[in-house]
Amino acid sequence: MITGKNYIGNQLSATANRTFKTFNPLLNIENDWNITEASNSEVNQAADLAAEAFKTYSKISGATKATFLREIANEIEALGDDLLEVYSSESGLPNGRAMGERGRTLGQLRAFANHVEEGNWVEASIDTAEPDREPLPKVDLRKMNIALGPVVVFGASNFPLAFSTAGGDTAAALAAGCPVIVKSHPMHAGTGEMVASAVIKAAEKTGMPNGVFSNLNSSGIEVGQTLVQHPKVKAVGFTGSIKGGRALYDLAAKRDEPIPVFAEMGSINPVVLLPKALHNRAEAIAKTYAGSITLGSGQFCTNPGLIIGIKSQGLTNFVNNLAEDIVKIEPSCMLHPNIAGAYQTNKKNALAQSGLQVLAGYEDSVEPNYARQVVTTVEGDTFLNNPTLHHEVFGPFSLVVQCENKAQLETIISKLEGQLTGTIISDDNEISEYPNVVNALQNRVGRIIFNGVPTGVEVCPSMQHGGPYPASTDSRFTAVGVDSIKRWVRPFSYQDWPNELLPDELKNENPLGISRLVNSVKTTANI
Ligand code: NAP
């Protein structure tokens, strides 16, 4: 069932002789299938095919792209339980999570299908000519969003479906009219191949040009680096670590023709606990956060890695309860030995910092690839003076910072790096006494949460998933929701162009019936 080959457009290909295996972290053994690394010539072929496909794919209608995207969803669904089994053997994640993530992936593909079928996303804007305008005549100008070109997508290991092969980045780029080359994540390359086969089947069934999609395997970073530097690649989508995202961003910037890299990276998602909330319900908040910190073994980009409060009896109660609750939770398996190893190293490094106190104590050891959750606490001054404590420890790890007063709380928030989310836990109107805290947090994050937890990312148009650097490389865009299509387009204007040669979106007759800005008025009317 899994061939281990690359998809170079519609063709399975394995010309190199270097192979690798994926790993089952629960069983602590390698999976059976061999995966073949993509060769340099396969990388070039995929890029050439994508550039060729772009010529036609970028011009096809929204309705046809919608048919393609819906067919991808259907084909992924048709893979049935086989896909879920491979997903679990390559990630250690349970069947329920696999089903949930598949549902999210299908939902994303179908949402993009609806989005491009409806068509308003091109943001058509028309300013008609005024030949008699004084002192100078005005030209006819018509603008809309058009596709950028071939896009390379790197998926993260912690979402083998929803942020991977046919995940959000791929769905958004295909919806925009960009061919996609996936650099498959080596830790779930079998899952990646199965999903790629579904995309290819859908492309063939719906008559898409060969090269609209390719899937390349690699266990190292060379294939990804070559792709990012390839002259025919015009944009990059990355979900993963700050180290990886930044390396690719720098590589793209050094090209003769620099290209955008939309990298969604790590975050510690600060949670601010206000005093009255802690006074009234420290115990309940601690219970909720013990669950959020350990959810999915802490392997979420929205994991609450930093909790900040002002010293009080309420904060002490919270810290004590969190310590008690967190040790009751069973340790869980991480995605693969590398992530489990990185967790141990980063945790050890954090725990070695002076002034850090560990709140949870364990005596027994854990199974291979399992992670023991840890909560720690530190004084506000110590946190402010030690940048190492500001870094993500990817896994079930959280740090509680105990501030001296409100002013220190504000200072700490304003000194944080950019984050995906920020959360405020408040009693009734308590938050209104903290306008500076709210402002400081808004300046550091992409999404602010009131009395909740940061884990859990709803896929819908109003979701912002991205924030100031290093949460993402461009905080103006989201990686989740239909607005993420905006990363893969550029605005383009036609001046005095004959009506019959204009794309349908800009023709006088408005044959698609889309909403357009005509002479500064939003309308679906003809011109
Ligand atoms: P990762 O180690 O950065 O890997 C992601 C992908 O990038 C892999 O295919 C990897 O290839 C490649 N890569 C890494 N460094 C590279 C380099 N220097 N040059 C070229 N390619 C490189 O991340 P991960 O372990 O899969 O995911 C965990 C991280 O993702 C966490 O930090 C988490 O917070 C973040 N994350 C963020 C979001 C978000 O939306 N913001 C969502 C999920 C996860 P190799 O494996 O071959 O090295």
Token pair 């680096």: residue: 225
Distances (CA, A) of 113 to 198, 485, 486, 494, 517: 16, 12, 15, 26, 23
Q: Whose CA is nearest to atom 4 of ligand 1?
A: 240
Tokens of 47: 């890029």
Check: CB of residue 202 under 8 Å from CB of residue 7: no
Check: CB of residue 384 under 8 Å from CB of residue 390: no
CA distance 347 to 298: 13
Ligand 1 atom at minimum distance from 338 CA: 25
Over range 273-301, report the average pLDDT: 97
Q: Tens of pLDDT along 112-169?
A: 999 999 999 999 999 999 999 999 999 999 999 999 999 999 999 999 999 999 999 9
Q: Model-level pTM greater than 0.75?
A: yes
3-state DSSP assignment of residue 153: strand
Q: Tens of pLDDT along 161-173?
A: 999 999 999 999 9
> What amino acid is encoded at 23 in this protein?
F
Distances (CA, A) of 100 to 87, 159, 171, 296, 394: 12, 11, 18, 13, 22
Predicted pLDDT at 443: 98
Residue 6: beta bridge partners? 13
What's the 187 CA to ligand 1 centre distance in angstroms? Answer: 11
Q: Whose CA is nearest to atom 19 of ligand 1?
A: 221
Distances (CA, A) of 119 to 16, 72, 336, 360, 512: 42, 20, 41, 53, 8
Ligand 1 atom at minimum distance from 471 CA: 41
Over range 203-228, report the average pLDDT: 98
What's the 241 CA to ligand 1 centre distance in angstroms? Answer: 4
Max Cα-Cα span within the chain: 86
Predicted pLDDT at 365: 84
Q: Is the pLDDT of residue 363 over 80?
A: no
Pocket test for ligand 1, best of 23, 93, 152, 157 (most atoms within 8 A of CB): 157
Ligand 1: residues with CB < 6 A are: 154, 156-159, 163, 183, 185-186, 218-221, 224-225, 239-241, 244, 247-248, 264-266, 301, 339, 392, 394, 420, 465, 479
Residue 398: beta bridge partners? 375
Going along the chain from its start, the domains and CATH numbers come out as: 7-265+477-487 (3.40.605.10), 271-450 (3.40.309.10)
3-state DSSP assignment of residue 464: coil
Over range 54-74, report the average pLDDT: 98
What's the 158 CA to ligand 1 centre distance in angstroms? Answer: 9
Distances (CA, A) of 73 to 68, 120, 171, 203, 415: 9, 22, 10, 12, 43
3-state DSSP assignment of residue 278: helix
Pocket test for ligand 1, best of 152, 154, 459 (most atoms within 8 A of CB): 154
Q: Which residue has the higher pLDDT, 361 or 29?
A: 29
Residue 216: beta bridge partners? 183
Residue 127: beta bridge partners? 141
Ligand 1 atom at minimum distance from 251 CA: 19
Predicted pLDDT at 54: 99
Residues acting as catalytic residues: 264, 301
Tokens of 329: 């939770």
CA distance 444 to 462: 19
Q: Please spell the DSSP secondary structure of 357-412, one letter per residue.
A: EE-----S---TTEE--EEEEEEHHHHHT-GGGGS---SSEEEEEEESSHHHHHHH
CA distance 57 to 66: 12
What's the 235 CA to ligand 1 centre distance in angstroms? Answer: 17
What's the 281 CA to ligand 1 centre distance in angstroms? Answer: 37
Over range 296-306, report the average pLDDT: 96
